[in-house]
Structure 1
Amino acid sequence: MTNAFGSLFDIPFPDAPDAAHERDVQKQLGGIIAGIDEAGRGPWAGPVVISAVSLDYDALPDGLNDSKKLSEAKREALFDDILRSAHVSVCVQSPETIDRLNILRATLEGMVKCAKSLAVEPQMFFVDGRDAPAPLLPKAQALIKGDGRCLAISAASIVAKVMRDRMMVRLEETVPGYGFAKHKGYGTKDHQEALKKLGVTEHHRRSFRPIAAML
């Protein structure tokens, strides 16, 4: 999806998060900005969790980066710091919603909900990946590998990742035997073996080909 304003908002971002650059972007746009990211598009089970974050660049948590590059302990610490210092919204799209819409549409719909749920009104949303939701255009710009390039997206990636991981740990307590706390719903060998033994649950994404093949 392209931005309706063309090059007006086609703002280049560095290859690593840079607070000074994002401050300049805010000045250029004449308003606050926010980052949007998700966790859990690929797993066979569990929800996809989306987060939008508008940072206070005068009170940045130390060490923001792509959540995948951080240890679990660092993500947990940053999660608390982000909630204390930033405006945050979260949307959870269930396996049922994913099956009804497909994973891309469910994710994009969640991004729109998150954007509209923020307590502030950003001038621009920077979205991790190739697609920015059409309802957010022209106030949205997709950034490939944005979670490692934009601090606001990094923060959103951390919030989404921590919240989803916690949900999958709780799911393991509710539906034991599948190893959700360990593999978080991804199609690992242990998960495949558990599915053969215990069967498909309501928490699995039935529209995903490996799960559909088991039904």
Structure 2
Amino acid sequence: MIITGPDLSLETLLAARLGGPVCGVDEAGRGPWAGPVSAGAVILDPAHVPPGLNDSKALSEKRRDALAPQIRSRALAWGVGFASVEEIETLNILGATGLAMRRAVEALSLSPAGALVDGNYSFDLPCEVETAVKGDSRSLSIAAASILAKTARDAVMAELDLEYPGYGFARHKGYASPAHIAALEDLGPCPAHRPSWAPIRALMAARSG
């Protein structure tokens, strides 16, 4: 069996149909108990694609950190957007993810004719949207967007680690982990936590009751 990585075939087909550039879009941080959700949008230059692009989850942190500046320097355009904890609480995580994606696309210096979005949900973006299930392992543009979204969010979580010491945000990035759970039991939630998440809500109720 031949295993192939992401390529530009989805982008090429959509760009030909729409008659304009296509960006890849992906998010990071939908599942954690703390911190914002982020999104990346990237229009790659086919002649200057950084080697080794892949789904951010398939890469080490060191490799993602090395690829992110290459993506920013070689892409025709790139953008990153966030939705805050407060916006997640107001809009729910799906709505906040769409907001972060819209902000990422709007941050592009080149307006795209279309967006390839990872997954199967068609978010409301300022261009035509085509979804791609497992797109981060099929599309180089989505893979690049996933790397920018992930590294940008990781940097925010490192800042939150300094602002709210003791939770270990720089290590677990707000996801569930034994260390995170132990810190929550010891310190209780902080403003970086998502109050509507079931574990956080239950802990807040227990501490107030």
For residue 116 of structure 1, what is the aligned residue in structure 2? 106
Q: Report deviation, 1:134.
A: 3.0
CA distance in 2 between counterparts of 1:64 and 1:170 reads 26
For residue 100 of structure 1, what is the aligned residue in structure 2? 90
For residue 42 of structure 1, what is the aligned residue in structure 2? 31
Q: Report deviation, 1:27.
A: 3.2
CA contact (8 A) 2:33 2:200 kept: yes
CA contact (8 A) 1:23 1:57 kept: no
CA distance in 1 between counterparts of 2:168 and 2:192 reads 13
Amino acid at match of 2:39: I
For residue 11 of structure 1, what is the aligned residue in structure 2? none
Change (3 A) 1:56 1:172: same
For residue 70 of structure 2, what is the aligned residue in structure 1? 81
CA distance in 2 between counterparts of 1:134 and 1:27 reads 22
CA contact (8 A) 1:108 1:132 kept: no
SS of corresponding position for 1:58: helix
For residue 190 of structure 1, what is the aligned residue in structure 2? 179
CA distance in 1 between counterparts of 2:12 and 2:46 reads 7
Q: Report deviation, 1:95.
A: 0.8
- CA deviation string 1:87-133 (max 9, x = no partner): 11111111111111111100012212222221112121000112121
CA distance in 1 between counterparts of 2:10 and 2:25 reads 18
For residue 207 of structure 1, what is the aligned residue in structure 2? 196
SS of corresponding position for 2:190: coil
Task: Out of 46-55 and 114-123, give the one that drifted further.
Answer: 114-123
Calculate percent identity across the aligned residue pairs. Answer: 45
Runs (5+) with no aligned partner, structure 2: 205-209
- CA deviation string 1:165-200 (max 9, x = no partner): 111122112211111111110111111110010011
Change (3 A) 1:43 1:107: same
**Counterpart selection for 2:61 from 47, 58, 72:** 72
For residue 33 of structure 1, what is the aligned residue in structure 2? 22
**Counterpart selection for 1:158 from 122, 147, 154:** 147
SS of corresponding position for 1:214: helix
Runs (5+) with no aligned partner, structure 1: 1-13
Q: Structure 1 length normalisation: TM-score? A: 0.88
Q: Report deviation, 1:26.
A: 2.8
CA contact (8 A) 2:38 2:101 kept: no
Amino acid at match of 2:74: S
CA distance in 1 between counterparts of 2:65 and 2:92 reads 30
